[in-house]
Structure 1
Amino acid sequence: MKRLVLIAMLSVGVLAKAQTFDAGGNGPAVAMDAVDRFNYLGKPVAHYGLGWYSEAMSIPPYMYMSGFAGIKLFTWGEARMIIDGSGKVGIGTLNPESKLHLQDGSVFIKTLRAGSNSEYPLISGTQAVNGTSGHAGIYLYEDGSGGFGQASGLAFKVSVNDASPATALLIKANGNIGIGTDTPNEKLSVNGKIRAKEIKVEATNWPDYVFEEGYKVGKLEELESYIKANKHLPDMPAAREIATNGLELGEMVRLQQQKIEELTLHLIDKDKALKKVELENTQLKAKQVEQDTAIKKMIERIDKIELKKP
């Protein structure tokens, strides 16, 4: 017959005696002990608590409450989890720094996909984020920009092998997002190349006004003088300005469209002028043919007159 030993420990420091009852078997196999104090990890201070053991286990697990009003859970003689006196929970650490502190491990959360009985990872990590081998994980950091009572940003960091984490993406308190940069000055600042199937830019004041009656295109002579003096088209930013401030895609496309439409008007005017010249040339050629014909006839008459002379 197996015997189970149950011992109750009073919270005032009064210890109850053990009670034994049979549950079948040939000897005590499992017991709960609140009478004896125990030490762990070589600490000189004895701890009161609850422990259970089995003859098949060389080191029994324990759960105890110590003088600092916390709870520790042990397996195989090692503390695995702690709830300290302030309510902080530590897994893998005996000194939790937050309400839930997980150390030397990763988190794997699985969820059911809609319409399926299979589980899929929601948040997962395959290795600890600190170590000498390649590792994966999620680093979330406060970016350190906020003082007392001030909002700060959120940094997502990654690392390669055992290198120090580097910021891959930063969300500032003002909503600006930086990829590859710690100082995003726009809603999205990217230090690198972007590849996309399509980019749509909202634009206003599209230059259809160029084709309105009364729009002054300007003379090409004036445009030539401006280009010689400034080395760029009117209304267009200079190279130095682009190098300093970057290129505003929407505004640049609008300005280029304006120049295309102005160039179209110049081409239309030049085409009209060219057709006028072509018409004049055609008329001149016709007159030239008439004159040549008249001169030829006149020469023929003169030749006949000369032949009739004695």
Structure 2
Amino acid sequence: MAKKTITELKAYFKAGKRPTEAQFGDVMDSFANLEDPQLFPKSYIKKRLNIDFPNDVFDQAVDILLGNRGMSGRLEIEIVGTWMYTNTVGNIKKLFQLGLNPDNAIWYPTTSRIVETGGPITNHIYIGDIVWDANINQYKITIFHTHHSGNIYDVRITYHCPFDTQDFSEVKLSDVYTSPLTGQRVHYTHYNDNLGIGTTLPETSLHVKAPKDKGHSNVVGGLFDRSEAAGGSNIVQLKYHSTADLELNSFYSGTNFRYGSYGDFNIVNNIDDGTYGAINMVTKKQTRLSIMPNGNIGVGTTLPTGKLHISQSPSSDPIDAMTIDVGSFGNPQNANKSHYFRVRDVGGSNNIPFIIKGSGNVGIGTETPAAKMHLVSGYVFPDSEGALIVGDTSQVNLRLGCSDRYSWMQGHGTSPLHINPLGNNVILNKDGGNVGIGTQNPDQKLTVKGKIHAEDVVVDMNVPADYVFQKYFDGQSSIRPEYQMPTIQELESFVRENKHLPEIPSGEAIVKDGVNLGDFQMKLLQKIEELTLYVISQNKEIENLKAIIKK
């Protein structure tokens, strides 16, 4: 028999081979020498220490002295408690990722986390982080014992590093000394960076599991208990990133609240997006209420189009989609499916001053609206197509949507119909459409069948007739460059043939199409200016003839 390395032993068991008796002896001899680093080099080192904390002394501590060494890889510190003086059984294991060189030369920042806890030991022991102590010129880890009852603890150190097999025999404990622990005093367990409270298998970053098998008792899964009279800002906050959180404000007055006042519970979603970032309330896997980023509220819809949008599923029986009770007398009525919306006075009379019926009719002051909008004491037009009626039973002042009469506004008897009697502007069809007076078929912005009596009329013009004089006296016109005034002979020829002036519509065209008042006025002015030039030209010829005669 002979001791063999792992590589040599693997050769005995290749496919298709069976180890000989001598080779099997080598295996047994090698197994008996597992601790021989020449044969089986280890990628980890283990060390065990014992801590004996004194009894009846608070805030004790001890240091694990690691020496002035280079350490890289992973270091595990596990502390196991025993049953002495108080119930401190259990264990705490902390994992460190290292990148240390001697003399505090850190090439990779140390990270650490608790990977295992169990038992009441977590209430008594706290494992610190690796720090450099310049006074003793070495690295150390401080273990804090916060309970006053003494106890003996087993410290198990495991150092993992595949290329570093340093001797850990010099690692030791310092003397026990007094050192109060500040800040966090209890460890929390991390599994793949998840935190579990009440569970050893946390499924997310924070997993809180309440006790089970408690019957029908009221079990609190999580409790934040604060009783002191503290004012100011939020005392409880569950936060997601920088945009969404749940907040409970202090119940005492203060001025530093982010939202609301004292005692308020805030549901916050500050995602700065016009489409995403709603707050939803869900039951039976369906969104029942949504508050959108723009402030719109949807009940039964996730796409509210107004500040309050209530939607009922088409397949649902519309039994009172909404009932508003005002006062304190009477019982809510919610059995009549013909009512979609009601505002009711339950202060004693149970009157319903406002109602929207299932037919779509709206009643104000009446429970039985006979039109799309029916005001109490209003006149009901016999036509079933009436939509809005305003006025008493004897004199209807306004009717909207009345059959072929469309919308009516009327006076009564000899009383005139007043529109905006205060004297402000009256604007009709601001964005388009024609207005007819005396006709049902207006073909222009304003069509009047009949006479118009006006004290003055102002017409806006784009092209004044000054181009006639410009072309005659200057030889050119910036207003109408193509204009040419006809000669008197050309004018005579045109009139003889067409029986009307050039650029002036014929009598038949005027009867058929009418005239554009502004354009027609400009054409008449053009003809007056042309006639003026003809007279000037004739006058020049007359003066020339007079001069010739005098000679």
Coarse TM-score class (shorter-chain normalised): 0.3 to 0.5
More strand by share: 2
Of structures 1 and 2, the one scoring higher in RCO (CA 8 A, sep 6+) is 2
Could you say which structure has the larger radius of gyration? 2
Normalising by structure 1, report the TM-score. Answer: 0.46
Normalising by structure 2, report the TM-score. Answer: 0.28
